[in-house]
Structure 1
Amino acid sequence: MADAGGPLSSTPVPSTDKEIKSQLSEIMETLALLGKQIEKISSVENRLSDLQKSVTYVSEYFENFRKEIKEIQLDTVQLKANNDRLQDQLTVTQRELSNTQEELHDLQQYSRRNNIEIHGIPQRNGEDTNDIVVRVAAAVGVDITPSDIDISHRLPSRQNQTQQRHQTPAIIVKFVRRSVRNSIYYARKNLRGQTPNQIRVGDNNTNNIYINENLTPPMKRLFHQVNERRKQLKWRFIWTSNGKIFTRKDETSEVISVSSAKAVNRIN
């Protein structure tokens, strides 16, 4: 039995300096290892801290990006609404412009309601176009005097693009009364077979004489398109009445009114 005054620890006490140095060396190595482990742990903590900062930065970046995307989406919705509104306004404006153009064209055509064009009469120096009109009217069976004529003159000369030659300019005449104009226009078929020479408006001239309505330039272009289509389909009839264009395959077919270029291709 140990006595009451003896040591409580059972750790052996080094007895020599060599043993002390050995134990101290082991302690130092252990401390060195602990130090390295502490350094590694500190490095890991630093890396974790940097990673946490990176995560925080990325999170903040994406949050800002999400807000920007949200704002862009809101702006896009607003822009689409504005675009739709502008598109609606443009559609209304285009419709109003189209209606205005149609009204303007109708007014231009209406202003020509007393006019006709006489084609096929040779041009001569010092001619009296009023006298020619009176003679043409007589040829279709309508008696008029110069007082029935408001004004008449030759239209500007134009070149035939197909034959590369200048066509004889037509005579345009405006009558004082529409009833006189209509009487002559509706009797124009009586000119068939008659030549300028026969009605004494052209020496030895055998041109065909024909009477047209005085159409506006757009309607003249449309008439040409319809006539080309008629020729392709070998339809027989095309004519105008009160500035409107009509075509017909034959005597028994339906009469078709053509009022726009889009309607030309529907002729079949």
Structure 2
Amino acid sequence: MESSINSVFKRIGDFDLEISKIGHLESEVNELKVTLQDIKESQSKSEQWVRRSNIQINGVPQKNGENLIQLIKTLAEKANYTLSTDTDIDFITRIATKNNTSDGRPKPIILKMHSRYKKDDFLTSLRKLNNLKACDIGFTGRQDKIYFNDHLSTDNRALFNEAKRLAKEKGYNYCWVRNCTIMVRRKDDSPVIHITSKDCLKKLS
């Protein structure tokens, strides 16, 4: 009887020890989750940082032998903006997206400028070209609408898309990006809500 009782107490002690180990492991897992989230956020910020001087241009038809520098010159003239292609532009290229292959839309154009402040000024001027179409910049007969935006990172692009979806669902009239920051406003006289993370989407009520 005494031996059996001692055996039971030993098993209980072993069980308590295992529970303690499990609790310790759970604590370590939670700490690792926090660390991983911090790393993801830091990586996302870094990805957006390297894009801070970039402008993304959507809707421009593609053609063989296209001259993207000349295209930017044409856009600058349309926007009445003084731009030196020799000193202001770092590089310009088209990039592939996962939708290009499925829907046949032209690849976006990424314009990287040497100065972020010059980029902000140029983008502001380009956005004043309301309802600019491809036919307005030399593509005869093409009615494709041209859009100008900040070049968002993958995470921020997904966040922006979700913000737009929720804004529409919740009755907000405006959802836009300025200086790589997502903003939402219900009406003209409503306060601006800054969306910097998924948690911020809870503000859209």
Gaps of 5+ in 1: 1-59
Q: What is the SS of the residue equivalent to 2:136? A: coil
C-alpha deviation, 1:106, in angstroms: 0.6
Shift of 1:195: 2.1
Deviation at 1:259, TM superposition (A): 2.6
TM-score when normalising by structure 2: 0.89
Offset of residue 99 of structure 1: 1.0
Aligned position for 2:105:
167
Question: SS at the partner of 2:135?
Answer: coil
Q: Which residue of 2 aligns with 1:118?
A: 57
Q: Aligned to 1:153, which of 66, 70, 93?
A: 93
Residue 128 of structure 1 corresponds to 67
Cα distance, 1:72 vs structure 2: 1.7
The two structures have a TM-score, normalised by structure 1, of 0.70
Does the 8 Å CA contact 1:151/1:174 hold for their aligned counterparts? yes
In 1, Cα distance between equivalents of 2:97 and 2:26: 45
- Aligned residue for 2:152, secondary structure, equals coil
2-side partners of 1:160 and 1:173: how far apart? 18
Matched, 1:237 2:174: yes
One-letter amino acid matched to 2:13: L
Match of 1:252 in 2: 189
- In structure 2, the CA distance between the partners of 1:160 and 1:224, relative to structure 1 (3 Å rule), is farther
Q: CA deviation at 1:107?
A: 0.8
1:157 touches 1:167 (CA, 8 Å); kept in 2?
A: no
SS in 2 for 1:109: helix
Q: How does 1:29-178 map to 2 (within 5 A)?
A: 60=1, 63-147=2-86, 148-156=88-96, 158-159=98-99, 165-178=103-116
Q: How many Å separate the matches in 2 of 1:196 and 1:167?
A: 13
Question: Mind listing any 5+ residue stretches in structure 2 that lack a counterpart?
Answer: none
1:74 shift after superposition: 1.2
Runs of 4+ in 1 over 4 A off after TM superposition: none
- Distance, in Å, in 2 between the alignment partners of 1:125 and 1:192 is 27
- Number of residue pairs matched? 204
8 A contact 2:100–2:107 mirrored in 1: no
Q: Secondary structure at the match of 1:89?
A: helix
In the other structure, the counterpart of 2:120 is 182
Q: How far apart are the structure 2 equivalents of 1:88 and 1:102?
A: 21
Aligned residue type for 1:190: K
Whose relative contact order is higher, 1 or 2, with alpha carbons under 8 Å and at least 6 apart? 2
- The letter for the 2-side match of 1:131 is Q
Bigger mean CA offset, 109-118 vs 67-76:
67-76
| Aligned partners of 2:58 and 2:146 also within 8 Å | yes
On the 8 A contact 1:131/1:146 being kept in 2, the answer is no
- Tell me the SS of whatever aligns to 2:112: strand
Identity %, equivalent residues: 22
Q: For the aligned residues, what is the CA RMSD?
A: 2.0
Larger Rg: 1
**Cα-to-partner distance string for 1:44-83 (whole Å, 9 max, x where unaligned):** xxxxxxxxxxxxxxxx3xx323212211221122222222
CA distance in 2, matches of 1:157, 1:219: 15
